[in-house]
């Protein structure tokens, strides 16, 4: 099993680094709650590490394990180590608690930000270790590309505090606390998306993959639904009547449609502004509305609506953690509303306003660029 082999390599490294048997056993403790097959394979592979600490770890496993088949495999590995010249003394069965019983550690912590207009967000996973600080895993993920970057580092508590405050100051979005298993789940999803896109995962992620897999849990739907049930949101009409209000909030200010996608519609609107075919402003406004609607219906296919639905669900959780429950409910209401097909005769307020905002931003940017260009007209 690839996961077991990776764990054995990690144990080998910890032994070489001089870690105590207690610390190494703490690292392995999560495996003891997994299937008998995995524990057996782990016990079997530990016998390949010729070291007295390996024997102590196996003895600790023997005291923690009740299943006969697993105990038999552990004893066989101890016998193999003894045959390789590793001496050890088996503890009496009634001696009480094992000295290698896992030390008490704090649970992992998770943190995350909202998303930018590209669907990028920062995630942090903090895994404490008894007696040796924390492992800090941080990275930027994309809901369309997967892992953008990723780093892993061992830190003291003091170092992590400084690191976290620095990230919080530099981040464009607020960092909120998230369930650590959910952060692990999001990292794992991003990793799978990277592979699906034929990308190369960051090397640090590959080194940390086993730790992330041990922390993560599987989630059938976004975390916000554990706090705001979907049946409380459906049918309230907020998503349709007040959806555009969200774009005024700081979390949505950076949201625009990418330039390459919106540019054809921006060009069309620019031409309509300059056109002499329209006799009055009302005719121009009608043409503008036609362009906005066309952009909305062509850009927001069913697949694109699902993407934005997920972004809104994740943003709703950020609102919730910031104590802004009304905004959280509105964001979630818009997300649920996006499950329905668009009605070209009744524009979806959130999507329609996002289109308007994106086109106007594009045109303003182009205007600013033109104003900065040197004039070719020579003044008398």
Rounded to 10 degrees, the C-alpha dihedral 3/9/10/15 comes to 150
Query: CA 316, CA 330: separation in Å to the nearest integer?
Result: 8
Q: How confident is the model at residue 275 (pLDDT cuts 50, 70, 90)?
A: confident
- Judged by average pLDDT, the poorest of 254-268, 289-303, 337-351 is 337-351
Query: CA 320, CA 224: separation in Å to the nearest integer?
Result: 8
- What pLDDT sits at residue 97? 46
Neighbours of 31 (CB within 10 A): 18
Helices and strands counted in the chain (H then E): 15, 5
Residues 244-267, mean pLDDT to the nearest whole number: 93
Average pLDDT, the chain: 85
Q: How confident is the model at residue 33 (pLDDT cuts 50, 70, 90)?
A: low
112 DSSP β-pair partners? 123, 176
In the chain, where the domains are located:
2-83, 109-218, 230-372
- Is 0.75 surpassed by the pTM of this model? no
pLDDT 10s digits, 182-214: 999 999 999 999 999 999 999 999 999 999 999
Give, as one character, the DSSP assignment of residue 48: T
pLDDT 10s digits, 280-337: 788 888 899 999 999 999 999 999 999 999 999 999 999 999 999 999 999 999 999 9
Helix (H) or strand (E) holding 188: helix 180-196
- What pLDDT sits at residue 37? 82
93 vs 18, which has greater pLDDT? 18
Residues 125-129, mean pLDDT to the nearest whole number: 90
- What pLDDT sits at residue 360? 94
Coil, strand or helix: which one is 111?
Answer: strand
pLDDT 10s digits, 135-163: 999 999 999 999 999 999 988 888 999 99
126 DSSP β-pair partners? 109, 136
- What pLDDT sits at residue 376? 46
Q: How confident is the model at residue 243 (pLDDT cuts 50, 70, 90)?
A: confident
Tell whether the model's pLDDT for residue 47 goes beyond 90.
Answer: no
Q: How confident is the model at residue 7 (pLDDT cuts 50, 70, 90)?
A: confident
Tell whether the model's pLDDT for residue 104 goes beyond 60.
Answer: no
Neighbours of 79 (CB within 10 A): 10
- Residue that is written with structure tokens 């609107």 in the block: 269
Q: Please report, for residues 55, 56, 109, 178, 315, the alpha-carbon distance to residue 112 in angstroms, rounded to integers and kept in the order given.
A: 41, 39, 11, 6, 10
Q: How confident is the model at residue 1 (pLDDT cuts 50, 70, 90)?
A: low
- Judged by average pLDDT, the poorest of 29-38, 182-191, 266-275 is 29-38
């Amino acid at each position: 099993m690839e996961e077991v082999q990776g764990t054995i390599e990690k144990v080998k490294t910890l032994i070489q680094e001089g870690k105590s048997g207690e610390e190494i056993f703490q690292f392995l403790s999560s495996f003891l709650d997994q299937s008998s097959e995995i524990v057996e394979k782990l016990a079997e592979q530990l016998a390949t590490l010729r070291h007295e600490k390996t024997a102590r770890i196996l003895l600790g496993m023997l005291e923690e394990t009740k299943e006969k088949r697993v105990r038999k495999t552990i004893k066989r590995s101890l016998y193999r180590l003894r045959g390789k010249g590793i001496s050890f003394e088996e503890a009496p069965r009634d001696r009480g608690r094992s000295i290698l019983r896992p030390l008490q550690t704090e649970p992992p912590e998770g943190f995350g930000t909202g998303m930018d207009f590209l669907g990028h967000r920062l995630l942090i996973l903090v895994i404490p270790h008894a007696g040796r600080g924390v492992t800090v895993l941080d990275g930027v993920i994309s809901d369309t590309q997967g892992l953008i970057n990723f780093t892993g580092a061992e830190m003291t508590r003091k170092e992590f505090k400084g690191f976290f405050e620095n990230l919080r100051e530099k981040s464009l979005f607020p960092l909120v606390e998230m369930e650590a298993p959910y952060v692990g789940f999001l990292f794992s999803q991003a990793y799978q998306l990277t592979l699906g896109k034929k990308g190369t995962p960051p090397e640090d992620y590959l080194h940390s993959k086993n730790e992330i897999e041990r922390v993560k849990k599987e989630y059938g739907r976004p975390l916000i639904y554990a706090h705001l049930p979907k049946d409380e949101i459906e049918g309230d009409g907020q998503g349709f009547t007040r959806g555009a209000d969200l774009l005024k909030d700081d979390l949505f200010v950076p949201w625009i449609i990418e330039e390459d996608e919106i540019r054809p519609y921006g060009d069309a609107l620019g031409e309509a502004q300059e056109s002499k075919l329209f006799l009055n402003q009302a005719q121009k406004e009608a043409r503008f509305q036609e362009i906005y609607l066309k952009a909305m219906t062509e850009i927001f296919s069913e697949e694109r609506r699902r993407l934005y639905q997920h972004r809104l669900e994740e943003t709703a959780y950020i609102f919730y953690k910031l104590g802004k429950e009304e905004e959280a409910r509105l964001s979630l209401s818009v997300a649920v509303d996006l499950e329905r097909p668009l009605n070209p005769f009744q524009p979806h307020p959130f999507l329609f306003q996002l289109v308007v905002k994106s086109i106007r931003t594009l045109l303003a940017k182009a205007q600013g660029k033109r104003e900065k260009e040197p004039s070719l007209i020579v003044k008398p």
